[in-house]
């Protein structure tokens, strides 16, 4: 880590009021901890985490539906590994897998096409959970399955969009931040322009320690110069317009819809729904299931953690009854979850 960059941050922060910057992306949270960046910042510069972990913001109802499908005899559930222990209302995918449900970990949605071909008498359902980073690959998988005439592959979509969540945070009176470290991977797809609505200093950042420090210098410089702009410190991979091809594939297959974020609530036009032209791949259209909507009563403060209002250490369950082996809330489940990162590194 460059001492020159650290010294520059110290000079820019000198005599400033208490400043809070939010890193939106879960990968940034992990990188910041690994590099020990929180520990070397001036006392008046604080980093808080935001809702940048898709698994963490996937709600109970979605998990309960996934479990209902998994318990059907003719179904194979395909999912990324960090979904296994996300708590539903009563159980999780790992627990029902242990008693016989066919739940398979994959590394790309495209793996589902092979699974479907090898199991023609089964319904293969991919749990499409993610942000703009993974959504284009899911869309491409649907297009590929359609072109190949795959008839037993389906998708349960909980894809979410980052910019609407940031708009929500800006309008939340309980949230106080002075700037954003914007997610580099998401920006690769949607571009810098997608964040131009932000009226606070904001910087698209890479994930190496020096890239994060450069982004913090940019934020502090903007505050020093009384500016509020969206800058790009990840120019090697992020373009102003983003990835035009990926965005086209995404809009071909999905349309925006209002959806619920766990711990936060409904956010307008923040989710992705499979378009009617591809309804044959939408499991909720082909085989709808009803699950009881139950509000779980828990002392978990995951919703406030995801909005940067509190840190995991403020939650009474953290490192007590809630830990990676027994996660009460979703922020402890994923490797990119805020509570999981704090548990591992703090």
Q: Identify the band that residue 66 occupies on the pLDDT scale cut at 50, 70 and 90.
A: very high
Largest CA distance in the chain: 68
pLDDT in the model for residue 292: 84
Express each pLDDT in 70-107 by its tens digit: 999 999 999 999 999 998 989 999 999 999 999 999 99
Q: What does the angle CA 225 – CA 229 – CA 230 come to, to the nearest 5 degrees?
A: 140
Give the mean pLDDT of 195-215: 97
Q: Identify the band that residue 297 occupies on the pLDDT scale cut at 50, 70 and 90.
A: confident
Q: At what angle do helices 26-35 and 209-224 cross, to 10 degrees?
A: 100
Answer whether residue 145 shows pLDDT above 90: yes
pLDDT in the model for residue 318: 94
Tokens of 76: 């194979």
CA separation for the pair 220, 236 (Å, rounded): 22
Give the mean pLDDT of 279-283: 98
pLDDT in the model for residue 187: 98
Q: Identify the band that residue 296 occupies on the pLDDT scale cut at 50, 70 and 90.
A: low
| pLDDT, mean over the chain | 95
- DSSP code per residue over 12-26: HHTT---EEEEE--H
Give the mean pLDDT of 111-117: 98
Least confident of 220-234, 290-304, 317-331: 290-304
Please name each of the domains of the chain with its CATH number. Answer: 60-162+243-257+267-286 (3.40.50.11740), 302-345 (no CATH)
CA separation for the pair 20, 100 (Å, rounded): 47
pLDDT in the model for residue 1: 61
Give the ranges where the chain is alpha helix by DSSP (H).
3-13, 26-35, 37-40, 60-70, 93-98, 111-118, 135-147, 162-170, 184-190, 209-224, 244-253, 283-286, 302-306, 338-345
- What pTM value is reported for the model? 0.93
């Amino acid at each position: 880590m460059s001492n020159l960059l650290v010294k520059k941050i110290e000079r820019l922060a000198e005599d400033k009021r208490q400043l809070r910057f939010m890193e939106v992306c879960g990968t940034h949270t992990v990188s910041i901890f690994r590099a020990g960046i929180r520990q070397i910042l001036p006392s008046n510069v604080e980093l808080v985490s935001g809702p940048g972990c898709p698994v963490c913001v996937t709600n109970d109802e979605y998990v309960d539906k996934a479990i209902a499908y998994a318990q059907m005899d003719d179904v194979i559930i395909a999912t990324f590994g960090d979904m296994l222990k996300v708590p539903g209302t009563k159980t999780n995918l790992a627990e029902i897998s242990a008693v016989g449900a066919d739940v398979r970990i994959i590394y790309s949605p495209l793996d589902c096409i092979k699974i479907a071909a090898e199991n023609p008498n089964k319904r293969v359902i991919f749990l499409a959970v993610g942000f703009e980073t993974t959504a284009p690959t899911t869309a491409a998988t649907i297009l590929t399955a359609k072109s190949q005439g795959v008839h037993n592959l389906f998708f349960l979509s909980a894809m979410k969009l980052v910019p609407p969540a940031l708009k929500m945070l800006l309008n939340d009176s309980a949230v106080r931040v002075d700037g954003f470290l914007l997610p580099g991977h998401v920006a690769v797809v949607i571009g810098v322009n997608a964040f131009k609505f932000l009226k606070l200093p904001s910087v698209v950042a890479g994930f190496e320690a020096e890239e994060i420090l450069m982004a913090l210098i940019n934020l502090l410089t903007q505050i020093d110069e009384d500016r509020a702009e969206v800058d790009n410190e990840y120019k090697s991979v992020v373009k102003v317009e983003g990835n035009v091809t990926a965005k086209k594939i995404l809009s071909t297959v999905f349309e925006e819809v209002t959806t619920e974020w766990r711990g936060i609530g409904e956010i307008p036009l923040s989710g992705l729904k499979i378009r009617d032209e591809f309804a044959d791949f939408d499991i909720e259209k082909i085989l709808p299931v009803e699950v009881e909507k139950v509000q779980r009563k828990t002392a978990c403060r995951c919703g406030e953690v995801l909005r940067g209002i509190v840190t995991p250490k403020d939650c009474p369950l953290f490192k007590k009854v809630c830990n990676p082996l027994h996660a009460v809330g979703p922020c402890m489940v994923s490797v990119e979850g805020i509570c999981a990162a704090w548990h591992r590194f703090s």
